[in-house]
Structures are given as C-alpha cells and as structure tokens.
Amino acid sequence: QVQLVESGGGLVQAGGSLRLSCAASGRFYGMGWFRQAPGLERRFVSAISATNGSTYYAESVKGRFAISRDNAKNTVYLQMNSLKPEDTAIYYCAAIYRYRSRWYDNGANYDYWGLGTQVTVSS
C-alpha cells in the first residue's frame, strides 16, 4: 500500500516561512505539490524529478518556494518563504510512478496523493 504523508503545515504571518515534508512509502519518477484554496480548484505548485533532480514551479511561487528531495529517505520538501495570505490553502503531495510527457503540472498525471496539510498565512 503506497502512502504519502505530509507534515509541516501551520499558521504563519505574512512574510514568514514554513517547510513542508512529504514522506513516501515507495520510490517514484517524480513528486509534486499542489494546493487547493477554499472555493477554488486544485492547482500545481511545484514538482521535482527523482531521477535527474529537475524542478518545476508555478509562476506564483517562483523565487519564494524551493522544492528538494532526499532520495535515501524517499522524502520531498517544500521550503516556502515570503509567504502571502494568498498562499493559504491545503497543500497536497503527489507522486507519479512513470514518466509522462510534461508530467509535472497536471494533477491527472499523478498516481498517488497524500491527505493534505493546511497552510494558513495571516495578514
């Protein structure tokens, strides 16, 4: 049974930082983060390839968020800096088992999902 377990969410003031972690029970081609704010659809945030380390970011988080991985621990991290109230959402970790063309920013490409962790940024 594949499991993805997110941690690290919480409440932070605008301008602050949080670090999310996602521990996976298996090894995957790539892992990503998506977020869903109330009343909105789930949106891509960032992704990383476990094979070559390529990273991908949504325009809204470029320069503020950084994704990294520890292959030995099957864990992916999302360092979130300069947080804004509009970053408030449930953040979901996802994993893709096999490569697909432009795999990273389409949630439909991912095979497994975590339950999510709440991030709240106060103004």
The one-letter code for the residue type at 19 is: R
Angle at 87 between CA 82 and CA 90, to 5 degrees: 130
Residue 1: predicted pLDDT = 78
Residue 115: predicted pLDDT = 96
Element (H, E) at 121: strand 117-122
Q: Which residues have CB under 8 Å from 102's CB, separation 6+?
A: none
Look at residue 35 and give its three-state secondary structure: strand
Kindly state the average pLDDT of the residues 101-105: 91
Angle at 107 between CA 54 and CA 9, to 5 degrees: 80
Residue 6: predicted pLDDT = 96
Which value, to the nearest 10 degrees, does the dihedral of the CA atoms of residues 82, 104, 91, 2 take? Answer: -140
10: region left, alpha or beta (phi > 0 left; psi from -120 to 50 alpha)? left
Residue 101: predicted pLDDT = 85
Task: Render 51-95 in DSSP notation, one character per residue.
Answer: TT--EEE-TTTTTTEEEEEEGGGTEEEEEE-S--GGG-EEEEEEE
Residue 80, pLDDT > 90, answer yes
Residue 8, pLDDT > 90, answer yes
pLDDT band at 120 (very low <50, low <70, confident <90, very high): very high
pLDDT band at 65 (very low <50, low <70, confident <90, very high): very high
- Mean pLDDT rounded to a whole number for the chain: 95
Give the tens place of pLDDT for each residue, 30-61: 999 999 999 999 999 999 998 889 999 999 99
Kindly state the average pLDDT of the residues 98-123: 94
